[in-house]
Structures are given as structure tokens and as C-alpha cells.
Amino acid sequence: MLPCFAPPDTPALPLFPLTPERLPAWRTAHPAGPFVAATGFAAKPGETLLIPGESGLGGALVGLGEGRESAWSFGGLPFALPPDTVWRLELDGAPEPAALRAKAVLGWGLGAYRYARFKAPPRAAARLVVSAADDPVLAEVEVTHRVRDLINHPANHLGPDELAETAIALAGRHGASVRVVRGQALAEGYPAVAAVGAGSARPPCVVRLDWSGPAGPEAPLIALCGKGVVFDTGGYDLKPAQAMLQMKKDMGGAAVAFGVAELVMRAGLPVRLLLLIGAVENAIGAHAMRPRDVIRTRKGLTVEIGNTDAEGRLVLADLLAEADAESPDLLLDFATLTGAARIALGPDLVALFARRDATAEALVKSGDAAEDPLWRLPIWSGYASWLDSEVADLGNVSSRPHAGAIVAASFLDRFVSADRDWAHLDLYAWNDSARPGRPEGGEATGMRAVWHGLVARYDHGRPIPPSRSPVDPAVTPR
């Protein structure tokens, strides 16, 4: 159990989540009502008020605001409430208390996260009492902490080998098989991944994880592909210094793919799973790819390098080709792929590209419900010719300045069979500033949206309780 939570038998103070509509009735019924009225507490979203009791602190109120109740109303509580205190939710009179409780546990757990590998947090988080009924939400919180930790690790402590070790540990926790491809086998089987990593002193690798699941060999196959660029200098098309500051997060797609895979395996979703991670560093060196180089891909297509900073799509090209050859029921890829997606949608909205309308609509719906929003953009065939090359089957970038995220998706589209149910998530994996439930730093953007979409698709929306086995600490990279 994460340290921000407490077992159900722990003595605890009452925490009352209130909307402005329910506040007057609570003030009338509770002995602290006159005190609350005198403070001007208005139950605005996330507004917090400590209330007195007979022997000192008697509890606390948290505001939910008008309209839709949000997990983020609870996100500031772990550090807004006094340290070393324990709290229990009081939901009497709340409509849909189970749904509100799930939001509270999620917001509390995500808000309690701090990256503590090299510096201890300034204070301990307050704790919330949870029970076995909260297990599905606790799984999402615990896996989000793992994903955030991975993204937050500095690049000198998380290279391609360490990313592979994370996959090996994940496989070990859930009885999956794992294979790591390096060296000559990588150059022959994943030539585009090898080309991206050729300039780094830390050799690239591809990790393949296979999990059979509880439903047997006839279960539908889900394939997940993650861009694991542990640091991106831009290569010879060097990024400016300011743009390089956050490039330890360029493996965020791989981290989110790890998170989705862990949730699938931990819950025993009735599917088979294939996870492919391209672990690589895009650096400058004697063997680094150059502008106008032509490289081969696993699919056999040749690519002219118009810009060495458009490397993530090259990594995904090889992974998608392998995953597509397995004929999955659903193929998903995750990548911090383009700045253009962030210009269009900002940091919070994941750019979703999907072949099938039903798949896109289901993922958007699940993202909205999970407060992990996706926004669909088109794979616009009219821009496909922008990737034409005079010397290769296609280029990795367009010479035009427009629609960069769509052009990148169009590139990936060439490596997936036309009839495949495929979706591409161009995500940010980072919080630029701290907000309740979303501390500054690495973020599992899109993970909960996809997870809830998979549950709805493959288990008819039934919440699946996760394993009761102890949660191992995340792998600590060297």
C-alpha cells in the first residue's frame, strides 16, 4: 500500500466532501455549522477548511464546486491537511457515493506523489483510509506512480539498458515472457531503431514482452508499442538548449505503454498482450545518422532522413511493423512524438489518431470519464504526398511547415496494414506546472483513458479487481 493510504481499521478524522448545494444542510446538521458559516467557506472546487472538535481538530471540509465532481478537487488534500493525520471519507447524503469515493481515492493518490529518488519530500502526506473495495482505483494510482517515476528519472540514470530492465521486472511480476534484442540482431531485425541509436555510447535495444492471460490462446491480442527515446538531443539537427531541458521525458510513450500493460496483466484482463518498446538514445556521434541519409526499416520501406530530430517515428515504424505482423485485434502506439500536437492541443490533451470511428469514439468517451482526455485528429490522406521522396520510398518529414502531428501519423500509417484497428496517441507525458493531483514533472498522460477503454471493450465494462499480491517497488535504474 502506498504511504498516502491507510488500512480500514486505522483511527481517522472525518473528511466531508461538499457541493455548494449540499453545504447549507450540512451546516444545519453539524455542530461546527456556525463556525463554517463564519469562515465564509463556499465549497469551491478544492477549497479546504479544518473544523474544530471537542478535543482540538474535529475534521475537515473539501469543496467540490458546482456541476461535475472532479478527482482534482481532492488532489491538493494530501499536503493541504496536517502532516501525520489520517482521514476517512464521510459520504452520507452524497449522490452516487461509490463514484465520488473512486474520484476521491484517485485524486488523493495522484496528489500525494512526489519524485523522491534524490531528494526527500519536505513533509509526509496526510493519509486516507481505503479498503479492498478501492482496489481497482488503487491499482491505477500505484501504476501512475511507477510511470511518473520512470519519466522523472534523469537520463544518466535511465538509459536503454535500464528501460529494458524495467520491462524484465514487469514481466517477472506477472508471469510474462520477455526478450531483449541488441547488437547485430537489432541491426538486422530493427534497422530503423538501430539507426536512431547509432550515435550514442549507450547501445539501443528492443524489448518484446508476451503475456498469455487467463483466457487462453484464443483470446484477442492487444499490441502496445512505446517510443522509448531515453534522451533526445535532436541529433545533428540539434535542439536548442531550452528545448532539450525536458528531453529525459522523451521515453514517456514507453512509460505509458508499460503502465497500460501492467494494468492489463495485474487485473487479468481476458486478452493476450504483446508489448514492444524501442529503447534508444538520439545522440550526436561518429556513427549518428545524418540529414539526407537513407535508412531501411523492418517493413522493407526505405526512408530519407529530412530531419534527425524526427526520430521517434522511425523507432515506432519498426515496432509497428512487427506488431502488425501478429494480426492483433487492436494495435496501439504511444509516443511523445510532435511539438505540433502540443501547439494544437496543449499539454493536457492527447492527440488521438485512429483508423476506426468506433475505436476513436470509445477511447474519447473513456478518457472523458477517467478525467484523462483525448482529442481526435485525422489521419488526413490528402497530406500523404507531403512525405514523398525522390530517393527513397518516403521521407521522415515534410518540407511544409503545416500539420506536423498529422504528417507524423501519416508516416506511421505506412507501416500498419490498411485493415488493422490501429490508434496512435501523440502525448506530452509532462506537467509543466503543479496543480492539484498533477505535480510538476512526468505524467502518465493517456494511460487511464486507454485502460478504461480496454476494460469496456474486452470485459464489457465490468471493473476487474487487481491482484492482491504485494506491489513491488518500481525498478530503480542505475
Q: What is the pLDDT of residues 213-235, one digit of tens each?
A: 899 999 999 999 999 999 999 99
pLDDT at residue 471 tops 60: no
Q: Is 293 helix (H, G, I), strand (E, B) or coil?
A: coil
Q: What is the model's pLDDT at position 459?
A: 87
Contact between residue 295 and residue 308 where contact means Cβ atoms under 8 Å apart: no
Q: What is the model's pLDDT at position 461?
A: 53
b/e map of 188-214 (b: 16 or more CB within 10 Å)?
Answer: eebbbbbbbbbbbebbbbbbbbbbebe
Q: Is 222 helix (H, G, I), strand (E, B) or coil?
A: strand
Q: Which residue is it, cell 522511425?
A: 314
Could you tell me which residues come within 8 angstroms of residue 218 by beta carbon, excluding any fewer than 6 positions away? none
Share of the chain above pLDDT 70, in %: 96
Contact between residue 296 and residue 192 where contact means Cβ atoms under 8 Å apart: yes
**How far is residue 28 CA from its own chain's centroid?**
43
Could you tell me which residues come within 8 angstroms of residue 289 by beta carbon, excluding any fewer than 6 positions away? 195, 196, 198, 199, 235, 236, 295, 305, 308
pLDDT at residue 356 tops 60: yes
How far apart CA 195 and CA 418 sit, in angstroms, is 26
Q: What is the model's pLDDT at position 413?
A: 98
Q: What are the φ and ψ backbone dihedral angles of 110, each rounded to 5 degrees?
A: -70, -35
Mean pLDDT of the chain: 95
The three three-digit cell numbers of residue 461, written as one number: 465494462
Could you tell me which residues come within 8 angstroms of residue 465 by beta carbon, excluding any fewer than 6 positions away? 135, 136, 267
pLDDT at residue 241 tops 80: yes
Q: Is 405 left (phi over 0), alpha (psi -120 to 50) or beta?
A: alpha
Helix (H) or strand (E) holding 171: helix 160-174
Cα 461 to Cα 86, 450, 455, 467: the distances in Å are 32, 13, 5, 18
The three three-digit cell numbers of residue 133, written as one number: 473495495
- Domain limits, the chain: 5-130, 138-458
CA dihedral sign of residues 104, 59, 81, 87? negative
Contact between residue 153 and residue 249 where contact means Cβ atoms under 8 Å apart: no
- Residue 121 pLDDT class (50, 70, 90 cuts): confident
Q: What is the model's pLDDT at position 347?
A: 96
Q: What is the model's pLDDT at position 473?
A: 32
Helices 357-369 and 447-458 pack at an angle, to 10 degrees, of 120
Could you tell me which residues come within 8 angstroms of residue 412 by beta carbon, excluding any fewer than 6 positions away? 313, 316, 317, 320, 333, 424
How far apart CA 121 and CA 19 sit, in angstroms, is 32
- Fold for domain 138-458? Aminopeptidase (3.40.630)
Give the predicted TM-score (pTM) of the model.
Answer: 0.95
For the question of residue 313 being annotated catalytic, the response is yes
Q: What are the φ and ψ backbone dihedral angles of 469, each rounded to 5 degrees?
A: -70, 150
Q: What is the pLDDT of residues 9-53, one digit of tens each?
A: 999 999 999 999 999 999 999 999 999 999 999 999 999 999 999
Q: Which CATH superfamily is domain 5-130 in?
A: Leucine Aminopeptidase, subunit E, domain 1 (3.40.220.10)
For the question of residue 414 being annotated catalytic, the response is no
The catalytic residue among 313, 342, 355, 420 is 313
pLDDT at residue 476 tops 50: no
The catalytic residue among 22, 173, 182, 239 is 239
Contact between residue 30 and residue 49 where contact means Cβ atoms under 8 Å apart: no
What is the average per-residue pLDDT within 89-96?
92
Q: What is the model's pLDDT at position 55?
A: 85
Amino acid at 396: N
How far apart CA 150 and CA 477 sit, in angstroms, is 9
When computed from its CA atoms, the radius of gyration of the chain, rounded to whole angstroms, is: 24
Find, among 11, 10, 82, the residue nearest to 50 by Cα: 82
pLDDT at residue 475 tops 70: no
Q: What is the pLDDT of residues 397-443, one digit of tens each?
A: 999 999 999 999 999 999 999 999 999 999 999 999 999 999 999 99
Cα 36 to Cα 11, 48, 54, 70: the distances in Å are 24, 11, 15, 23
Q: Is 274 helix (H, G, I), strand (E, B) or coil?
A: strand
Q: Which residue is it, cell 495522484?
A: 110
Find, among 281, 226, 280, the residue nearest to 258 by Cα: 226
Could you tell me which residues come within 8 angstroms of residue 220 by beta carbon, excluding any fewer than 6 positions away? 271, 272, 328, 329, 330, 458
